């Protein structure tokens, strides 16, 4: 493993973003542009979601304010600014206000390390379309997401009400659980790229997008990013049927709008990260990238390709919301802890051996698959992993069927029930006694009868 690490370290590293010609004032301008870009994207996304779901449900959706209802989201935001800002008397004033601000701010911070395009000319300077980058940018995203969880749990706790507290606890447990699987899914990407810098990861995908070699990580990330953003079918923290509205039940006005804004910005953030880590980032699709010696893969063209890829994931969010019902909370948590996390751990181990095979430590023989050369040992490892996964899925399915069968047998009502045993289902009231009541089909059941005092009053 030491030789493997040295070999991978000696490989040619992709070029990172160059910020040497980016003064401080230009960084502030780029931060403002990213802020405006996200705000406009959120306004358009809300309109797009309402229109798309309206079409799915055979209704028009917003169509009054502006052409095609495009200004409806802006009108709703302005309305939130002038609504009465109600705060419960039992709420903690400082934390109640700080929580939505913290949640929305962390969503914007995560977008600062995502490269939106290549190097461009801005005000006489050559600068990348990225606010900043660090050697551990991938870990920074996970750290910021962990801080955002505080905004949710503190928002539910500070309201001083039962339902927001339960919604905050649900959301926090959900975010923490699925951050583990999300982080493990990204480990495989870091191993393929040889770096955690987002700009280097994008540059490494110039020949082959990581969605192909890290396909398992991509599927796991798609599931975890929906759970991370509390969106249907995983919006369990906002379950209206049992929690009224979840952790922001007591919020109104601009405080509620901040939670709403943070949720949608977070959707763009996880979609932008999926584009960066798996779909080549701002780089053009392979066919278009080859046109005109890569003329469509430079400059401001990267912003167009990045936006189109990101909106592909946003359409997926809308499609899921319009088609799938909400899952049960215990099923959702069991799915994350007992399936996704073990699967990603096994996948990371497999990627380690695959990368070692690519480095030539397990043989130099290769085979051509769809025009690409793969080491024989890599294909063997992938085949073994596929067999293990299929076997685990078969065992899991049989286990679930056995549990469902046992639960069905346990749910069968016995022929004779003693209602007095243990006070179940409810303790008998004072003066109650039981008599046999005939039923249709000759069956008999024990039912409560009026007390002696009630019988005397009835006779009298």
Cα separations in angstroms, 276 against 24, 111, 231, 307: 25, 11, 21, 11
CA-based radius of gyration for the chain: 28
For residues 203 and 282, give the distance between their C-alpha atoms in angstroms, rounded to a whole number: 10
| 409: Cβ contacts below 8 Å, ≥ 6 apart | none
| 182: Cβ contacts below 8 Å, ≥ 6 apart | 142, 220, 221, 224, 225, 228
Tell me the domain boundaries of the chain.
Answer: 15-327, 330-409
Using CA atoms in the order 27, 31, 33, 38, what is the torsion angle rounded to 10 degrees?
160
* 10-residue stretch averages of pLDDT, the chain, 460 residues long: 39 62 87 91 91 87 85 85 81 84 84 86 85 85 82 82 82 83 89 87 86 88 87 77 75 83 88 90 81 76 90 91 82 84 84 69 50 57 68 74 76 54 56 53 47 50
Provide the pLDDT for residue 192.
87
CB neighbourhood size of 286 (10 A): 12
CB 231 within 8 A of CB 321: yes
65-96 per-position pLDDT tens digit: 888 888 888 888 888 888 877 888 888 888 88
SS3 448: strand
| 434: Cβ contacts below 8 Å, ≥ 6 apart | 419, 420, 446, 447, 448, 449
- pTM for the whole structure: 0.75
For residues 284 and 352, give the distance between their C-alpha atoms in angstroms, rounded to a whole number: 29
């Amino acid at each position: 493993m030491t030789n493997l690490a040295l070999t991978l370290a000696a490989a040619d590293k992709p070029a990172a973003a160059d910020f040497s010609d980016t003064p401080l004032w230009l960084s502030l301008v780029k931060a403002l542009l990213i802020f405006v870009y996200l705000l406009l994207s959120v306004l358009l996304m809300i309109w797009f979601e309402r229109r798309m779901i309206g079409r799915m449900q055979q209704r028009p959706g917003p169509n009054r304010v502006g052409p095609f209802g495009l200004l409806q989201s802006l009108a709703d935001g302005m309305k939130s600014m002038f609504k009465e800002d109600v705060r419960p008397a039992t709420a903690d004033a400082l934390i109640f206000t700080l929580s939505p601000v913290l949640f929305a701010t962390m969503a914007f911070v995560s977008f600062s390390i995502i490269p939106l395009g290549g190097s461009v000319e801005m005000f006489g300077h050559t600068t990348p379309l990225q606010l900043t980058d660090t050697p551990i940018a991938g870990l920074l995203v996970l750290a910021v997401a962990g801080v955002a969880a505080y905004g949710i749990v503190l928002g539910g706790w500070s309201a001083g009400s039962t339902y927001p507290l339960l919604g905050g606890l649900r959301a926090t447990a959900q975010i923490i659980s699925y951050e583990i699987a999300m982080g493990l899914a990204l480990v495989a990407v870091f191993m393929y790229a040889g770096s955690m810098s987002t700009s280097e990861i994008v540059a490494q995908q110039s020949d082959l997008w990581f969605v192909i070699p890290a396909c398992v990580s991509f599927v796991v990330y798609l599931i975890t990013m929906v759970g991370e953003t509390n969106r249907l079918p995983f919006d369990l923290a906002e379950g209206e049927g049992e929690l009224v509205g979840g952790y922001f039940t007591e919020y109104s006005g601009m405080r509620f709008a901040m939670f709403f804004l943070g949720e949608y910005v977070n959707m763009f953030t996880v979609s932008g990260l999926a584009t960066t880590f798996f779909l080549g980032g701002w780089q053009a699709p392979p066919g278009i990238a080859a046109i005109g010696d890569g003329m469509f893969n430079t400059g401001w063209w990267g912003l167009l390709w990045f936006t189109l890829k990101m909106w592909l994931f946003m359409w997926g969010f809308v499609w899921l919301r319009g088609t799938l019902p909400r899952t049960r909370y215990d099923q959702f948590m069991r799915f994350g802890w007992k399936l996704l996390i073990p699967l990603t751990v096994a996948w990371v181990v497999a990627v380690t051996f695959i990368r070692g095979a690519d480095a030539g430590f397990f043989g130099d023989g290769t085979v051509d698959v769809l025009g690409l050369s793969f080491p024989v040992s890599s294909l063997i490892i992938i085949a073994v992993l596929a067999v293990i996964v299929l076997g685990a899925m078969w065992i899991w399915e049989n286990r679930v069927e056995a549990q469902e069968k046992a639960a069905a047998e346990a749910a069968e009502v016995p022929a004779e029930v003693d209602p007095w045993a243990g006070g179940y289902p409810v303790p008998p009231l004072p003066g109650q006694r039981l008599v046999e009541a005939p039923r249709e089909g000759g069956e008999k059941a024990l039912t409560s009868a009026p007390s002696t005092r009630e019988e005397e009053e009835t006779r009298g």
